[in-house]
Structure 1
Amino acid sequence: MTTHHCTFMVEIWSGVAQGKFPKRARRHVLEWHDLHRNELLEDWEFCRARSEPKSMEPLE
């Protein structure tokens, strides 16, 4: 089994992605970001307030 390590970051507000990630996986991550953007922003505020973020549904 081959293990791959990737560094990939998606800016919550803009959706701008940086880093290397397989194209298909990148597309799925960006789709998930689009679906959960408001939840991500809400969780970011929870984290800034040192509160536990809520869980989110995975991409199906």
Structure 2
Amino acid sequence: MPTLAIVDGVSIRMYAADHPPPHFHAQYGEHSAVIGLNPMVVLVGSLPPNKLKRVLDWAAEHHISLVHAWSLASENQKPGKIDE
């Protein structure tokens, strides 16, 4: 699973050909969450509150890039990096 970005120590990743709805995976130590893109909400799991806020703020700023990355990943292509 490619890492798209690291946001305040949280790894942001997407699986190739992953299941709908569009989402990304956020991993911070033993904490992990699956975060939907439309709407941008935690679907499964959890992160520490301060890390979750930072990730959601970052994701809102990079929403178009995340949707594009999802499109590539869903076609089994590498989504590439997204700048923090």
**What are the residue-to-residue correspondences of 1:26-41 with 2, within 5 Å?**
26-41=52-67
Residues 8 and 20, structure 1, Cα contact 8 Å, conserved in 2: yes
In the alignment, what sits opposite 1:7? 32
CA distance in 1, matches of 2:80, 2:35: 19
CA distance in 1, matches of 2:56, 2:82: 15
Following superposition, which runs of at least 4 residues in structure 1 exceed 4 angstroms of deviation? none
- Alignment coverage as a number of residue pairs: 55
Structure number with higher helix proportion = 1
> Which structure has the larger Rg over C-alpha atoms?
1
Structure 2 gaps, min length 5: 1-28
Greater relative contact order structure (CA < 8 Å, 6+ sep): 2
- The counterpart of 2:75, out of the listed 49, 52, 57, is 49
Normalising by the residue count of structure 1, what TM-score does the alignment of the two structures yield?
0.78
Deviation (angstroms), 1:54: 2.5
In the alignment, what sits opposite 2:8? none
Superposed CA RMSD in Å reads: 1.3
3-state SS in 2 of match to 1:45? helix
Structure 1 gaps, min length 5: none
CA distance in 1, matches of 2:46, 2:72: 28
Normalising by the residue count of structure 2, what TM-score does the alignment of the two structures yield?
0.59
